[in-house]
Structure 1
Amino acid sequence: MLEILKYTFFQNALLGSVLASVVCGFVGTYIVSRRLVFISGGITHASFGGVGLGVFLGINPILSAMAFAIASACGVQWMSEKRKVREDSAIALFWTLGMSVGIICSFLTPGFMPDLPSFLFGNILTIDSFDLSLLAILATLVVALFLLFENTIVSIAFDPVFSKTQNLPVKMVEYAMMIIIAMTIVATLRLVGIVLAISLLTIPQMTANIFVSQFRKMEWLSVAFAICYCLMGLGMSYYLNVPSGASIIFVSILIYMILRILKSAFTNEKKAS
């Protein structure tokens, strides 16, 4: 596998894996702690509407997908706050709206959409300098926000009601985090695709939670696991000639299951002794 390292596209894939792992490690920990997995899944699929619009209008699909995803995330948050619509109903609304807009625009676009499979299923080998720049900016922003305001973010994630009594900016933080979640999802579309994006935001955190429960420790351990999953998935993709996105998720779930079984067996053995 070493001979492939000389190619620029594979170097971009490795760098993109590391940057995406950093972003997903931090943001995913908030998602899991705040129990926003279903909302994140809705935003992920809603972003397809932006992809379709971007291709139809002739603009960068990543930028249009990010705008659509941010609008959907804020829409779900706003509708849930007003309590006129149940949260799961709001998620379903934007989920299906995004998918329908994406499908309609895909069919209205003249010719064939060559990048459509990479957006749906991921192809990290197609990452270019724009994607890397976007991931680098987002990684810097996410790390800076979590290091500077982690106490506030953690407090709101675990108990937003109590945080309001402490005069913390709950509403502002919740909207800001929804926007960051939307940006993270879109930035990782090239890596694992719309279908599998939510996995990279939850499985590393589930694995880290086997060993630690403290928020900050889980963040960094999630980053480490995500990097390992991406590199091992790339290796599997290279040797078996299968899609990289699916390989990364398959490896991550397999390792999670093995570690969970080993931890359970060790705990039972310790209790028996």
Structure 2
Amino acid sequence: MIEALQYDFIQNAIIAGVLVSIAAGIIGSLVVVNKITFLAGGIAHSSYGGIGLAIFLGLPVLFGATIFAVTTAFIIAAITLKNRSRIDSIIGIMWAFGMGLGIIFVDLTPGYNVDLMSYLFGSIIAVSNEDIIYLSILDMFIVFLVLFFYKQILAVSYDSEFAKLRGINVRFFYTLILILAALSVVAAIKVVGLILVIALLTIPTYLAEMFAKKLSTMMALSALLATSFTLLGLMISYFYDISSGASIIMVGVVTLFIVKILGKK
């Protein structure tokens, strides 16, 4: 693996993996604590519409996915706050709409023949320098917002009724959490793809939750675990010439399985 570090695409893959793992660890903790995994999954798959639109208009794919994912997060937040009993139906509709719209835009793009499977299952070795810059900006934005609003996010995540009584704008911070989840989804597209992104957001956090007593500790430990899974998954992918996204997730699943078995013993 040492000799592989001389290649630019391997260096970019490692940097991107670390950046995405930091975002996944921090926001994955909020997704799990707020029990919005299904909502995050809906945002992830609906963002495919942004990918298709970006391809059709000739825009950067990650930029298009970001706009679409954040817009979807706004819509889902607005609807689910008023009608939580129909969350599953709303997510299903947004999920299908985004995926369908993305496919249509790609079909309408003249001469476009790139394999779209890379967006569904990830292609970390295809990360460019522009993607690294974009991921770095997303990471800084996510970390800044979480640090700046940490107390309010903590209150809303664990007891929204109490937070409301304390004068915290629950609607705003609920929407903010969904937007941050949307940004993390976009960041993870290149690494593990839309299909596996929820696994990257939840597996490290589920493990971290077993050992952490505070949300901040859970975020840090989850980010560390996600980074470890990503780097180890990359090594396995390189040596055995298999999909990097699937390798990363399988490392996480196997680790979770081992920890659960040892915990029972």
TM-score band w.r.t. shorter chain: over 0.9
Indicate the residue corresponding to 2:257 in structure 1: 257
On the 8 A contact 2:32/2:205 being kept in 1, the answer is: yes
Indicate the residue corresponding to 1:106 in structure 2: 106
Q: Tell whether 2:186 aligns with 1:205.
A: no
Partners of 1:214 and 1:85 lie apart in 2 by 30
Indicate the residue corresponding to 1:268 in structure 2: none
Structure 1 unaligned spans of 5+: 266-273
Indicate the residue corresponding to 2:8 in structure 1: 8
On the 8 A contact 1:65/1:186 being kept in 2, the answer is: yes
* 4+ runs deviating over 3 angstroms: none
On the 8 A contact 2:81/2:171 being kept in 1, the answer is: no
Partners of 2:159 and 2:97 lie apart in 1 by 31
Q: Deviations over 1:6-56 (max 9, x none)?
A: 111111111111111111111110000000100000000001111111111
Q: CA deviation at 1:90?
A: 1.3
Partners of 1:64 and 1:234 lie apart in 2 by 26
Partners of 1:162 and 1:113 lie apart in 2 by 53
Code of the residue aligned with 1:243 in structure 2: it is S
Q: Tell whether 2:242 aligns with 1:242.
A: yes
SS in 2 for 1:86: helix
1:29-108 equivalent positions in 2, closer than 5 A: 29-83=29-83, 86-108=86-108
Q: Deviations over 1:212-258 (max 9, x none)?
A: 23211111110110010001000110111001001000111011110
Indicate the residue corresponding to 1:228 in structure 2: 228
Indicate the residue corresponding to 2:147 in structure 1: 147
On the 8 A contact 1:79/1:85 being kept in 2, the answer is: no
Partners of 1:84 and 1:210 lie apart in 2 by 29
Q: Deviations over 1:58-78 (max 9, x none)?
A: 211211111111111111111
Q: CA deviation at 1:203?
A: 0.5
On the 8 A contact 1:210/1:260 being kept in 2, the answer is: no
On the 8 A contact 1:131/1:187 being kept in 2, the answer is: no
On the 8 A contact 2:12/2:127 being kept in 1, the answer is: yes
Q: CA deviation at 1:125?
A: 0.5
SS in 2 for 1:210: helix
Structure 2 unaligned spans of 5+: none
On the 8 A contact 1:156/1:170 being kept in 2, the answer is: yes
Task: Report which stretch shifted further, 212-221 or 227-236.
Answer: 212-221
SS in 2 for 1:188: helix
Code of the residue aligned with 1:213 in structure 2: it is K
Indicate the residue corresponding to 1:157 in structure 2: 157
TM-score of the two chains, using structure 1 as the length reference: 0.93
SS in 2 for 1:242: coil
The count of corresponding residues between Structure 1 and Structure 2 is 265
Code of the residue aligned with 2:237 in structure 1: it is S
SS in 2 for 1:125: helix
